Chains A and B, each alone.
Chain A
Amino acid sequence: MSLRLIVLLVLLAFAPPAIAQESPALTADDIIADVSDRRIAITVGFSGADTTLFGALPENGDVILTVTGPESVVRVRRKERTLGVWLNQGMVEYDKVPGFYWIAASRPLADIAPDSWLTAQHLGVDHLRFIIRNASNYLDLATFRKALIDLRIEEGLFLAEPALASVMGGRLYRADVHIPANAPTGDYTVTTYLLQAGELVGTQKTSLTLRKEGSMADVSVIAEDYAVVYAILALVLALLAGWSSATLLQRS
């Protein structure tokens, strides 16, 4: 838990009840929401990170939180039987698939807002919007979509069922997000939706960056920008490893 979180919690605990006046629509300035780490560094020992989203709820209100990872183009393939052999045949290509998707709410989503609204806002894995770029067959898109979501859930990159944010004293919420080691690097968007009686009263977007630092960053940069140097390094390393083992083991 970062210092920022502690300071905010202390401030909120002593805050005058003024913010809880008659509640008009909240403007961006009125929303108190943050994330404990805005920058997550990947180093050699990185095996995933935990971060906390926290903030204040509107009077008798609810919160829905999402964390969305960097988007990329994804090709889903399906093995089909041809001439008695199972080979990749069917294919659907999606534009802008988030590399990570996490969602939490202060109560079960169905109790907070109607399904039509959740669909319109693309909230929850089943409502995510994937844009189809190319497909071998347009008749079976739902199966491919479900398969992609299932694969990502299995890899820990998508959250199947929304998590429950814990609410303290009816005014403060917090929720812990686990970002696994296989999550893509880049900019993540944290979105906060504040609702009252099923009506959206305010949203806020914050960003969170996951990036390689130190030697991990160097390796990636050399691999991508100086591929020839990288190839030579890889070969020298392999020959050196082979040679040194031969020399060391001969002595022993």
Chain B
Amino acid sequence: MFQVYLPIAEMALSAPLLIIIGGCIGFLSGFFGISGGFLLTPLLIFVGVPPAIAVGTQANQAVASACAGMLGHRRRRNVDFRLALYMLAGSAGGTLVGSWVFGWLQEIGQIDFIIALLYVTLLGSIGGIMLLESSRLLLRQRDNPAATPPIRRVPELLQKLPFKIIFPTSGLEISLLVPVLLGFFTGVTTVILGLGGSLLVPAMIYLLAMPTALVAGTSLFQVIFTSGAATALHAINHQNVDIVLALALMVGAVIGAQVGARFAGRIRPDLARWLLALILLGIAVKLFFDLTVPPDMPFSWEAVPS
């Protein structure tokens, strides 16, 4: 019912289905401050969209939900623009280095293996650490509701770095190298893995010790630019952005992102962290099984430009 033809993917899908998928991804994006690409890409492939087009279109959709979510957070003054701009400077460099590394891995022909390995180890270890930390905190609070969460500090090694400046919104005094390096790392992983903000969010919580309320909005501000750059690169180099598919997803995603941003302020931060940890770990476990369990259908086909 209500099929819509996707001119780049060259297939038809149900419009209501796409709006619902977009709504769910948008909610996660607004709530956690991630791009949601690592969930949306496999979902689109599952409903029959060619993998390359799923990747390109996902980036376009992420711009819309990040923009909607960021504006939702900004209304509550939960975006640290100054910090985000330093991270952006780093991620511009990271994107360039990342695409160079990507090309090199592609040349030696091991890109699939490296990506799979990085995904499982990064998501698995970060998700695991977060889950342990937040579970411990949740349990302690259940036993003693009056207990206040411990104050997180910037790791000592990072405190020793030179060029300290003040970020008033976040109440941080820290070396400008920290956000620049974080941005650089995010840029590299976004190009190679398409991980958007999902590594940046844990890094901002644990390495920058940012107030939790500011994390999602600031990360989303960053995602607008990194996913925007990814969209442009995909559209120009590979023509794999389906604007009709993106539009159908966006209709749901921008509403979901607004709702997600609204909910983010209402839930306890340690509970939110626990949920994000569960999602990251869940993806890592799924990818691990995809890699190690014999596939039902080991064959796949792709069109080759002649």
Binding site for B on A (CB under 8 A): 42-48, 72-82, 84-88, 93, 95, 144, 147-148, 150-152, 155, 181-182, 184-185, 212, 216-217, 219-220, 223-224, 227-228, 230-235, 237-239, 241-246, 249-250
Contact = CB atoms under 8 A, between A and B. Distances in A.
Given A86-B291, A238-B64, A238-B67, A181 B304 contact: no
B241 A48 contact: no
A242 B64 contact: yes
Given A234-B243, A239-B63, A47 B3 contact: yes
25 contacts: A42-B7, A43-B5, A44-B244, A47-B5, A72-B306, A73-B304, A73-B306, A78-B298, A79-B295, A85-B291, A85-B292, A86-B293, A88-B112, A148-B299, A181-B11, A184-B10, A220-B8, A224-B239, A227-B236, A231-B231, A231-B235, A235-B232, A241-B253, A242-B70, A250-B75
A134 to B, nearest CB: 9
A238 B246 contact: yes
B67 A242 contact: yes
A182 B12 contact: yes
A74 B239 contact: no
A237 B232 contact: no
Contacts of A237: 60, 64, 243, 246-247, 250
Contact of B235 (A78, A217, A223, A245): A223
Interface centre among A48, A86, A148, A244 (most CB of B within 10 A): A86
Contacts, number: 192
Contacts of A233: 243
Given A227-B235, A245-B254, A147 B299 contact: yes
A80 B300 CA distance: 12
A185 B290 CA distance: 33
Contacts of B243: 219, 223, 230, 233-234, 237
B93 to A, nearest CB: 21
B231 A151 contact: no
A184 B61 CA distance: 25
A238 B303 contact: no
A233 B48 CA distance: 25
B38 to A, nearest CB: 19
Given A45-B4, A224-B239, A234-B246, 19 more contacts: A42-B5, A44-B4, A73-B303, A73-B304, A86-B290, A86-B292, A144-B299, A152-B301, A227-B239, A230-B235, A231-B231, A234-B235, A235-B63, A235-B228, A238-B60, A238-B61, A241-B254, A242-B68, A242-B257
B33 interface: no
B71 A238 contact: no
Contacts of A249: 72, 255, 258
Given A48-B12, A234-B241, A246 B235 contact: no
Given A43-B5, A72-B306, A87-B116, A245 B68 contact: yes
A18 B134 CA distance: 89
B186 to A, nearest CB: 19
A78 B71 CA distance: 45
Given A185-B10, A224-B239, A246 B71 contact: yes
Contacts of A227: 235-236, 239
